Chains A and B, each alone.
Chain A
Amino acid sequence: MTLSKRLRPPSFVAAHAGALCLAICVAMGGVAWAADEAPNSKGSKGSKDSKGSKDSKGSQASKDSTATRMPPETEIAYYYDYVHHMVARPIARQLDLGRAVRRLSGRPREAVNVDSLDQVRLPSTWWTPRLGYRPVSVEQMLRGPGPGTGPAPGKLSVTRVKTQGVTPGFFIKDSEGTGFLLKFDPPGLAEMATGADAITTYLYWAAGYNVPDNTILTFTVDDLEVAKGAQLTDTQGKKHVMTRDDLVGILAKLTAGADGRYRALASRLLEGKPIGPFEYSGRRRSDPEDLITHEHRRELRGMFPMAAWTNHADARSANSLDVWVKSGGRSFVRHYLIDFGSCLGSSAIAKRAYQTGTEYFFDYGVTGRQMGTLGLAPFAWEDAVDPDLPSVGYIESRGFDPAAWRPYCPNAAFDARTDRDLRWGARIVAAFTDDHIRAAVAQARFTDPRAVEYLARVMIERRDKIVERWLGPNDRTGALMTR
């Protein structure tokens, strides 16, 4: 009684409680609306691309606009990205009442850019219908983004070198003046990262995504020359003028083959002006053509089966790039996936940990289960068998569970996936024939035939598991129509 008296509101509040409730709801809704838009501006987070008022003016997509202004360049805070997606966002997601209501009602939010037939509305600057939606021959896949021939014969002019990280990166120009980035394998794991990068590039292109033209290149020290004014970036990020001795010194830290040739992945520099990575959440608000928050894009949500298939655990902003291109009489942003060195059995600087693909770097579910069982519950990877093939790294198919696959850290678009998104992506994976897979694996130019055979077999078996999981064994024939 005493308590109820204490809680009794003053008469004014009591009389106007309903109106107050509504007013508070509206006010909080307004605040929430504003706050909700804030994460959506993460395409511009921490960058020069954060002046929201101007961006909102471009909310009408202009299908024939040709004179749009280049969005400001953006940058992501790499470590914060991990913290945000591993700690902050999962907690916020669990506290999301809207999501809870949707889950309880069995009505998840579907992708926004799909038509009544559940297909991606085209055109798209993210994705092009290829395998699964159009026939793509093996030859077409191997041409990829084109021309797929690597640097032209002749001297390779080194214009810039970065020495940060485990392996260096060379920016070169071939004899025709075309720019490439040369990436190398980590010490002791020859062919692994470059092979994974080459294979996965072809697969993602055939799947419809925009990727750079990546090929395997071998060269000797004599094939390289230092371009005039070439710069060397040291471990502190300071730039110096590079000499021939610097170049030889850097190459000496790499492992050459028995024939004295160095192996690298030659990645053709993308045409256009890079404006920074895209995010799998929010949107680039300064781009008038980017009106759909990325979590609700079918191309990104539906990439999950591809990522699971190729073990693209590092599918995050850091491995993407938006490029301002001029093409077809207009200028616009095209969205690329880049840096596939951390796919298949490679983690770019080492071979894959057994845990990769089965749990996040910090996985609340796995951690909770382990705490609850005092660690006695076996991990999903504990029966894994390492193929012991240095050029492959660690990837396997026996314990592969497509639905349980996890990237390194939660991906906002993957987290928003629904069954429809998964079936859309699985259909693409299903369309890869054994010939496509074997041809892509051959592009790694592994010297060990066992590596070629093992990786092709594993990829075929992983594909079949994806098909069975999301398309079902009975629908497999129909799904594989392009075979």
Chain B
Amino acid sequence: MTRLSPARSHRRGRIGIVAALLGWLVFVAAPGRSLAQAPPGDAPDSLANVAPDSVASPAPAPEPVGNTVASTDDLAPTSAAPWNPSRAVGFHETWEQALNAPLTLASLPIRLLGAGLEAGILREQEDRWIPRVMFFFGVGTPLGIYLRPAQLGERSGMGAGVEYRPPQLHGWLRAGIDASTRGYNTTRVELGPRLAALRYEQAWRPREPYFGEGMDSREEDASSYATSSQLAEVRLRLRRGTTWRREIGAWAGERRLVASHGREAKRSSLEIVHPGVAPQALGVDQDHIVTGLRLALDTRSGRPHWSRGWRVAAQAERFGYPPSDGGLLFHGAAASPGFTRATLEGESGISLMRDPRTLRLVVRVVDTRPFDESRPPTIVDEVRLGGGEGLGGFASGRFHGSDLALARLAYIFPLGQFSEIEMSTERGGVFPNVWRGARLDQSEQSYGVALRVRTERAPLGAVRVNWSHEAVRLGLSVGGIE
């Protein structure tokens, strides 16, 4: 066995590679390999009246055909065996297949995935299991039972809800239960027409986040707490108008709320991370008489997303002390901190062009005033920013405070018939006093881009990326985009 010296071996290797490449190029560049250029000899019945020309040449001037058609039967499709080449013709010629071979191999897993997907869809078509599942979901509809995704807010996990609206009561009774994989649940019962209804709600939220007070709180101080609440109230709501939609709402009732140690596995409980806050927040049976009023005017319109008009809303809510001998319905402590909260919100947008490119601005201000300055609301009643509540580039519930100010500027433009992009930026913060203490340099900035799937009527869902100097957050939402 001859052993080559390293230098000679490498030289022979290079020569081999060059030879192979040259061979390849000759193979690739070899003309006339196309079956498209098959000899014309076996064309039994071609209508030869157009001269062949190169692709780049001007269009040929067709000559009139000499054939005459005696009857419609002459125009009927033939039963004769069709012309075919001598062998099957694939999409690619051999040299194209060779050229594409590396990518063909590399894409094999994707192709297998595609084949599996295709087989699955075919199976679904044959077995119709999607309509069957949909039928299962709709089976309770005549009885007034509806299944739907849970409405438990962010970070509550995968969940589902059941609603019961017996048709015999014409919508006067509405009851529902929502539950999720992260242990969140809510039970709701409403009695009466939507204009004026009695409402009871019980909720359990075991993994609520808390990072500390104000904008100086640190991400590393993440903790969790749980809340259990009950609410009973009378709610009035009046809506009028189609172009200028007016809304007046008022409510009065009693709320009992107890916070306890957090159940979040990856975060320590509140009393461990924030021992100074815990005594006022945890284990205290808070009871409030809640009254509120809301006024709103909405002129927004446009499809597929609202593209013109404006909206203003003002809401005032009072969390008052219960009677000195305990609550009316629930029997919590009478010593809960009382406060009032005002929320002002304004939104406007302008658009240009037929498929709207829309610029939107939203401003929200929340002002909380305790009855007694020495007894501010506990952390469960503080306003929050982060995630879906504003400043989407930060973790949900990242900032807690008494007041907040937030502005959001968004630009929405279409990508095509069924998709659009929303680019947005938010600036805001929580403050002890929004009117006197709000400072731009103490606020935070967040950015976001969302790819929204839409029909010609409305957006259906969105994939979002929000980011800030602290985090990048991905989100997926289906329905309820606007």
Contacts and interface: CB of A to CB of B under 8 A. Distances in A.
B111 A112 contact: no
Contact of B82 (A28, A124, A327): A124
A292 B84 contact: yes
B324 interface: no
Interface in B306-364: 353-355, 357
Given A32-B101, A119-B46, A124-B82, A355 B61 contact: no
Nearest to B356: A375
A112 B35 contact: yes
Given A25-B98, A236-B131, A289-B81, A283 B34 contact: no
Contact of B13 (A17, A47, A64, A478): A17
Interface stretch (B72-80, B150-158, B236-244, B281-289): B72-80
Contacts of B471: none
Contacts of B143: none
B45 A122 contact: yes
B99 A327 contact: no
Contacts of B415: 366-367, 370-371, 375
Interface stretch (B3-11, B205-213, B249-257, B427-435): B3-11
A16 interface: yes
Contacts of A289: 81-82, 84
Q: Size class of A's contact patch?
A: 35 or more
B96 A98 contact: yes
A79 to B, nearest CB: 6
B90 A237 contact: no
B69 A136 contact: yes
Nearest to B6: A11
B104 A97 contact: no
B84 to A, nearest CB: 3
B481 interface: no
Nearest to B357: A375
Contacts, number: 358
A367 B451 CA distance: 12
Contacts of B67: 133-135
A18 B13 contact: yes
B482 to A, nearest CB: 18
B23 interface: yes
B343 to A, nearest CB: 33
B59 interface: yes
Contacts of B18: 18
Q: Which of A123, A128, A374 counts the most chain B CB atoms within 10 A?
A: A123
A453 interface: no
B64 A146 contact: no
Interface string A103-128: 00010111111111111111111101
Nearest to A64: B81
B87 A60 contact: yes
A56 B75 CA distance: 33
B217 interface: no
A83 B87 contact: no
Interface in A31-62: 31-33, 35-40, 45-47, 56, 59-62
Nearest to B51: A117
B389 interface: no
B16 A370 contact: no
Interface in A291-308: 291-293, 295-296
Nearest to A366: B416
Nearest to B58: A472
Nearest to A120: B46
A29 interface: yes
A284 to B, nearest CB: 11
A48 B213 CA distance: 66
B13 to A, nearest CB: 3
Given A29-B101, A327-B79, A375-B421, 17 more contacts: A17-B14, A25-B98, A38-B111, A46-B119, A46-B121, A59-B88, A63-B80, A110-B36, A116-B40, A119-B46, A123-B45, A237-B131, A367-B415, A427-B62, A478-B61, A478-B62, A478-B64
27 contacts: A8-B10, A18-B19, A22-B20, A32-B104, A36-B100, A40-B91, A75-B125, A77-B118, A96-B96, A112-B38, A120-B47, A121-B43, A125-B78, A128-B78, A129-B47, A130-B75, A134-B69, A134-B75, A328-B78, A330-B79, A332-B79, A359-B416, A359-B417, A419-B56, A472-B59, A478-B64, A481-B65
Interface of B: 4, 6, 9-10, 12-21, 23-24, 28, 34-38, 40, 42-53, 55-56, 58-65, 67-69, 72, 74-105, 107-108, 110-111, 114, 117-119, 121-122, 125-126, 128, 131-132, 135, 353-355, 357, 411, 413-419, 421, 423, 456
